[in-house]
Amino acid sequence: MRDAWSATATSSVIVPARVKRDFVVIQLHSGDPIAISIGVPAVFSKGLKLINAGDHITLRGINITNAIYAICDAGNSATGGYQH
């Protein structure tokens, strides 16, 4: 993966907004499950989930130019990477 990110129980940007982006691949490297949201702060009980280390998702479409956020459940953390 090209760039690293980390997530905690506070929603944070893991992939910054970008004017032009055709796709983004997000991978969970280690830690606890995360929830992902596009364009708005993440909420753990909602959104796309990456559960296990090695899980990844490829996002395509007009909304992926927005910032992408991640959050873990209370007291947990995770690390990963992304490529676009």
Kindly state the average pLDDT of the residues 6-34: 94
Instruction: State the Cα–Cα distance between residues 29 and 31, nearest whole angstrom.
Output: 7
Total domain count for the chain?
1
- Indicate whether 23 pLDDT > 90: yes
Confidence (pLDDT) at 82? 94
Q: Are 84 and 39 in contact, with CB atoms under 8 Å apart?
A: no
Confidence (pLDDT) at 1? 60
- What is the domain-level CATH number for residue 53? 2.60.120
> pLDDT per residue over 35-82, tens digit each?
999 999 999 999 899 999 999 999 998 778 999 999 999 999 999 999
Range of the domain at 47: 3-83
Confidence (pLDDT) at 76? 95
